[in-house]
Chain A
Amino acid sequence: MAATRNNSSNPARIPALGFRALALIVLAIALMVLDHRDKHLDSVRDTIGIALYPLQLVVDGPARFRDWAGERLRSRFSLQEENEQLRREQQVVRARLLTSNALQAENARLREMLDARVKVKDEVRVAEIMAVDANPFRHSLVLDVGKGDGAYEGQAIVDQVGVVGQVIEVGLMTSEALLISDPGHALPVEVNRNGLRTIAYGTGEFGRLELPGLANNADIREGDLLVTSGLGGAFPAGYPVAIVSSVNRLPQQAFADVSAKPVAALDQVREIMLVWSAPGESADAESTPAAAAESEHE
């Protein structure tokens, strides 16, 4: 009965609904397979990403305004105080820099003697974190830098005190970064005290990393500083990552239960720095830092 009526006069019938739904579901699955296998769909992402950019700016607006207003509305007293503090800090840093320069020169000289590869000085650029929640199930950030700024996938991100994470997706104007605390993140580190190498895994908590690969008799203590080892290629070596917070050795198990606290305040940062491990790296995202350093050396 309903079929004999004109479609538009009958709100109950949606033509070919089941077929359309099925076709779209198949299309969605095909897209997922394509996207998962390789990165053929980057241009699609870029295009939609540009369309989303204004929306991200709108969402980010209030936070930006709050920062701006906070700067404008500070009292003279607190500014003076901050000024004073910064001046003191600068003196300390400058003093440290003096020795650092000397040490760097000495280091280069010693390495030359050993005929080791000279460590290329890292290039650093400040980027701002947009107040945009990207993925609710990952520890990720949206940054206000994109392809145009030379950001690339796998690029290391640090703040003033330590490693924050790495870039996992680069759009034209924004990019997404994964924090080291994400459960899917693994970072090759070494103990600063003795060079013991291991891998730090994220746990999904901001304040804790796990080091599951350490044998029960490994030389590691509470308070040890972990720095990036530079193995694995993505991260330049020598950046502080975390401080070992607990070491549990269970006699019946082969591996010690070690956790560490990241030195960077992962849930509080607003400004972070992108690190280009070697000059020219940004131009060629495919080359590993080691390869780039190699060509630099020649």
Chain B
Amino acid sequence: MSRDRASRHLPVVVTILIALALMMVPLPRGVDVFRPDWVAVLMIFWAFSLPRSYSVGVAFLLGIVIDVAQGTLLGQHALALVAVVYLTVKFHLLMRVFPLLQLMATVFALLALYQFLLFWVNGISNVSAPSVTYWGPVVSGTLLWPILFSFLNGLRYRVQSRV
């Protein structure tokens, strides 16, 4: 039973580890402002497809890990990620019937909310941030969605078929 559970969670854990690594990989200046929020996009996907297993609790823990990795205020990313994942889980049935473009628009809105919450906490805690480039990850994350979606869907069916 427990081995079954472990193998069921394995794809998710591996993708999350990869996302965390991609978050830390150094990128050349200029490109790095368009680095997608890998973890946020990934959490939206898993919350969207497996909302019973990956919901706000996982989002919170992952947010704390990001906060430590990036040296931000402890709880900042946790707050943003919990809010975004909450909305995703809440509306996942609705999102499942969306056509791709509408889904991308939803992801855009979710990522914008994520980035805004981070921005807001930064503002309160007096951490200055660059202006326009700050929203780069929202755009790149949205553009990333269709690719990630088709790739991870294969994984997802493997995960679900074992339930």
Which A residues are within 8 Å of any B CB, using their own CB? 11-12, 14, 17-18, 20-21, 24-25, 27-32, 34-36, 41, 44-45, 48-49, 51-52, 55-56, 58-59, 63, 131-138, 140, 168-169, 176, 183-184, 204, 267
Contacts and interface: CB of A to CB of B under 8 A. Distances in A.
Contacts of A59: 21, 24-26
B143 interface: no
A20 B86 CA distance: 9
A36 B75 CA distance: 10
Contact of A48 (B29, B55, B68, B93): B68
Contacts of B93: 12
B161 interface: no
Given A27-B75, A41-B74, A133-B24, 20 more contacts: A17-B90, A20-B55, A21-B56, A21-B86, A28-B78, A30-B75, A32-B75, A32-B79, A44-B64, A45-B68, A48-B65, A55-B17, A55-B24, A131-B25, A134-B69, A135-B70, A135-B72, A137-B134, A183-B128, A184-B126
Contacts of A27: 60, 75, 78
B15 interface: no
A184 B70 contact: no
Which of A20, A24, A140, A176: most chain B Cβ within 10 A?
Answer: A24
B130 A32 contact: no
A47 to B, nearest CB: 9
Interface string B53-78: 00111011001110011111111101
A135 B74 CA distance: 13
A136 B121 CA distance: 15
A63 B28 CA distance: 13
Which 8 pairs from chain A and chain B are nearest by CB? A31-B75, A21-B86, A28-B79, A28-B75, A32-B75, A35-B74, A48-B68, A28-B78
A32 B26 CA distance: 27
Which of A12, A28, A41, A267: most chain B Cβ within 10 A?
Answer: A28
Contact of B75 (A35, A56, A136, A204): A35
B27 A25 contact: no
B156 interface: no
A24 B52 contact: no
A289 B78 CA distance: 37
Q: Is the interface of B mostly helix, strand, loop or mixed?
A: helix
B52 A14 contact: yes
Contacts of B85: 21
Contacts of A183: 128
B122 to A, nearest CB: 7
A184 B129 CA distance: 9
B82 interface: yes
Contacts of A34: 74
B152 interface: no
Contacts of B2: none
Given A27-B60, A136-B35, A32 B82 contact: no
Contacts of B65: 48, 51-52
30 contacts: A12-B93, A17-B89, A24-B59, A24-B78, A25-B82, A25-B83, A27-B75, A27-B78, A28-B82, A30-B75, A32-B74, A32-B75, A34-B74, A35-B75, A36-B125, A41-B74, A44-B64, A52-B20, A52-B65, A55-B24, A56-B24, A133-B23, A133-B25, A134-B70, A135-B70, A138-B127, A168-B71, A169-B71, A183-B128, A184-B127
Contact of B21 (A14, A55, A134, A169): A55
Contacts of B90: 17-18
A48 B51 CA distance: 25
A120 B26 CA distance: 38
Contacts of B121: 32
